[in-house]
Amino acid sequence: MYVTETELAKQIAKPNLAQAGNVDPRLTESCQSSTDLINDWCGITTELTPIPATIKRVALSLAVDLWKQPDATFGIMGMGETGTVRVARDLVARYDSLLIPYYDRENGWGVA
């Protein structure tokens, strides 16, 4: 995985969810899903090793989005000063510009 459960728990300010031997399964699911979505978006068939800093940053941010997504019923996160705050429909598309350098061009992804 490109991001660990401990890193995600720290980022969402719930470090007790990633205690050794007692990791919340939602943390693992969010971390694994972010890795899978990044690999799928870029056309990567195996995880990148070593993990580039940009991929690690995108994976952490995407994992946070995935963690919070169940709280956004019908795509609405809540109410702000200007009205409803909505969640993006395609979470990975937000990071496309950061992921372009990692497209697997040999498998048909990216610009030829």
Tell me if 80 is assigned to some domain: yes
Tell me if 61 is assigned to some domain: yes
**Span between the terminal Cα atoms of the chain, in Å:** 28
Tell me if 91 is assigned to some domain: yes
Q: What is the model's pLDDT at position 58?
A: 97
Domain hosting residue 31, numbered range = 5-105
Q: What is the pTM of this model?
A: 0.81
Tell me if 111 is assigned to some domain: no
For the chain, the domain total comes to: 1
Q: What percent of the chain is predicted at pLDDT more than 70?
A: 79
Q: What is the model's pLDDT at position 51?
A: 95
Residues 6+ apart with CB under 8 A from 55: 2, 38, 48, 99, 102
